[in-house]
A and B are shown apart, each in its own frame.
Chain A
Amino acid sequence: MSRSGLAVTAFAVVLFLAVPGFAAQEKPMTDEQVEGLFASVCGFCHEDGGRVAGKGPQLMGTKRSDAFIINRIKHGKEARMPAFGDQFSDAQIKSILHYIRHLKPE
C-alpha cells in the first residue's frame, strides 16, 4: 500500500507558514532566549534550567569540555538525548554552550 501523506503535508504547510519559529537561524541566541529554549525543549530532563540533576545530568558546573558538550548537542545519545544538529545552527549551539557555562544557582 502506498504511503500517501499529502493531506498531512498540506496541514503542515499551513502550520509552518503561519507560525515561524526562531530556530535554525545563523545568528546566536541571547541567554534569555536559551533560558526559554530550556523551558521549552531541554528542561524535561535538565531540570531547573540545567541547574540540577534530574532525568538528565546537571549542566551547571559541568566538567565536560566544550567539544564534548557541542558534540552531545549535535549528535545526542541513543535513548538519553535527541540529536539537535539539524535543528540548531553552530552559532546557536555556541549560545547554548555559553548559557551552560554561565549557569548560576537561583
Chain B
Amino acid sequence: MRQKKTFAFSMAVALGALAGGCAQQQAAAPPQAKVGEAAMMAVPADAETKADWTTYHGTWRDYDFSGLDQINTDTVKNLQVAWTHDPGRDTRGLQSMPLAEGGVLYYSGSYSRVYALDGATGKEVWHFFPTVDEALIKRQTHSPYNRGVALGDGRVYVGTVDGRLIGLDQKTGKKLWDTKLINSEKLTVGFTGAPLFLPGKNMVVIGAQGGEWPYRGPLFGVDATTGKRKWTFLTVGPDAKSRATWGHNSWRTGGGGGWMPGSYDASSNTLWWGTANPAPLYDWSGPDWKHKGARPGDNLYTTSVLALDPDNGTLKFYHQELPHDAWDFDSAIGEFVQIDENGQHLVVHPNKSGYIFVYNRDNGSIVNIWRITENSNFVKSIDPKTGELIGRRDFTAGPVNPPLCPAIDGGVSWNSGAYDPRTGTWYKVGNEWCIDLKVVKTQPILEPQAQLNIGADFHEVPPPGQDKIWGHVDARDPVTGQIKWQVKYKEPPLASLLATAGNLLFVPDAEGVLHALDSRNGQELWSHSDGVGHDGGIMTYEAGGKQYVAVVAGWGGMVTDGYPKMFGEPFTSMPRNTGVLTVYALK
C-alpha cells in the first residue's frame, strides 16, 4: 500500500523549481535522500516488471516502471548501444512501444509490420508484414504509423489502418486469424493504437482512431483464440441517454474514437478506456452550447473515461472529463495509473488539456483534479471535488482572442509518464503552447469517404507574454499534484518515460537525445543521441541475465511535422519517415 511520503521537499522549493529552471537543467536543488533513506514502500508484484515487459505500460497498473536495477545511478555511465534495428518503410516515423517476453523483443513499425527479435543480439526470430490496403492508406491523413502490439496466451496481436485486428503465433509469427472490424474504406478510420490483451479473459480489445472523423469511435472486444468479435461498444450514441446529449441528431457523426489502449483492473474485472473529442473539434455554439452550434449538448460519451464490463462490453460507469469538449482535449490518452492508497482504490488519468483526474476506481467518483501545465485558459479552473468546468470558453465563429491554451497538440500528449511505486512519484511531461484560432463553420463530409471535421483554422504560438514554446518533465505526487522537481526542455518532449528501480528516469527528447536522470532529483547522469527525434515508447527487459533498455526513435508524426516551424533546427533538417529501435546495455 502507498503511504505518506517522507521526501524532504517543501512547496517553497517546488515553486522555486517552477520559476527558476532553464532548458534541460535541473530546476530545483536536489534533495539529499539516498536510496533507502526515503520511505521506500513495498511494491506489489503486479506493479513492476522484471525480466519481461508484456503489455503496453509494463503491467496492467500502467506504471511504466521496472524493478530491474542492473542499470542504476552508479552504472548508467557505462550504458552504450548494444544493437539497433530498422523496421523499414518508416513512413511517419516509429511510434510504437516494444514488448519483451522470454528474452525475445516484439515491436511494430508503420504498415503494422511486426518483428520478433533476439533480445540480446537483435537477430531476427521472425517478421510479419501484413498486406494492407495501400490505396486506402494514400487517402488517409494520419497513416500508416502503428503504436504497438499486444502479447498474451502465446499470441501477438496487431491492428491495421485498414480496420483489421490480426492474431499471430508468438513463436513463429504465423498468422492465426485476421478479423475485419471496421469499414475503413468508407469511414477512413482504422487502428493505429496498440490492442490490449486482458489476462485470464481470452479477450483482446482495440479502439478505432480519432475524434475528428465523423464516425462513432467503436471499441471492439475480440476472442483472443478465434478472432471472433464478441462485442462492439459505440462511444457515441450507444443508448438513448447518450443520443439525448447530441442536438440535431449530431450523434450520427460524433467522433469519439478510443485511439489508445486502455487498461484492465482484474480485481474488479473492469476495462478502463478513454475516448476522444467530438467532431467537429471546434464548435461555434457560443456560451449556449447546450442548445446551439454543430452538436448541442454534452456529447456523451466523448472526452470521457469509461469503465466497461469486458465480458460483454456494457458500460458500468463513466465520467465525462470535459462535457461538450470544444477544444480537442481528448480523454483518449490510455494511461490509467492504478494506485492503492489509504484503503482507497484510485486511478489517475491525464486529460489532453493538462488537467489530471484522480478517480475512485470502484465507482468512478472524483477524488481530485489538478493541472500539470502552467498555461491554460480554455477554462478558468475545474472544480477538484465536482469536476465542474468553471469559466469555460465557448467560441462563436470567427477569430479567438486571446489564443487558446493549451494547443491542439495537448497540454499532455498521448505517450505515457511513469510511476515509481516505491516512492509514490509520478513522472509526466507537460507542454506549454497555445494556438491562434479562428473558428469556421463546417459540415461533415461523408461521401464518398469520410473526411476530417476540424472546424477551425489555427497555428501554434507561445503562451501569452512568452516568446517561446517549451516543455517540462515533472516529478509529482499523482494524487495531489504536489511537485517534487521539474526539468525544462526547449521543445516539448513527446515520447514516453521509463522509471526503474535503479533510481533512473529515462527521458527520450524531441531532438533525439535519450537522457537518464536521477529519478530522485532530476539530475542528468547520462545521455546519448539516437540521431532522430523520439515520438514513441521506451521500456526495459532482461535477456540472458543482462538488463537492456529499448527505445524507438523516428520522426514524421502529425504533431512533429509542426516542429520545424515552431523551433527551426535541428527539426528543419531532421529526416522524416525514419525509424530505428535502439537497445542499450552496460559495457
A residues apposed to B, CB below 8 Å: 1-5, 7-9, 11-12, 14-16, 18-24, 35-41, 43-45, 47-49, 52-56, 75-76, 78-79, 82-84, 86-87
Contacts and interface: CB of A to CB of B under 8 A. Distances in A.
B319 interface: no
Contact of B454 (A11, A15, A39, A75): A39
Given A45-B561, A48-B457, A78-B138, A24 B448 contact: yes
Interface string B195-237: 0000000000000000000111010000000111100101000
Nearest to A52: B459
A23 B445 contact: yes
Contacts of A15: 187, 214-216, 252-253, 446
Most chain A beta carbons < 10 A, residue from B138, B227, B232: B138
Contacts, number: 149
A43 B439 CA distance: 11
Interface stretch (B172-180, B339-347, B353-361, B464-472): B172-180
Contacts of A76: 138-139
Nearest to B282: A39
A7 B232 contact: yes
Interface string B426-464: 000000000010101111111111011111111100000
A5 B227 CA distance: 13
B454 A3 contact: no
Nearest to A44: B454
Contact of B556 (A8, A14, A79): A79
Contacts of B481: none
B140 A47 contact: no
B561 A55 contact: yes
B280 interface: yes
Secondary structure of the B side of the interface?
loop
Contacts of A75: 138
B539 interface: no
B182 interface: yes
Contacts of B561: 45, 55-56
Contact of A47 (B187, B214, B457): B457
Given A1-B177, A54-B565, A78-B138, A40 B452 contact: yes
B186 interface: yes
A15 B457 CA distance: 27
Contacts of B377: none
Contacts of A1: 176-179, 226-228
A23 B438 CA distance: 23
Given A41-B452, A44-B452, A48-B436, 9 more contacts: A5-B182, A16-B447, A21-B447, A39-B457, A40-B280, A44-B454, A47-B459, A79-B577, A82-B140
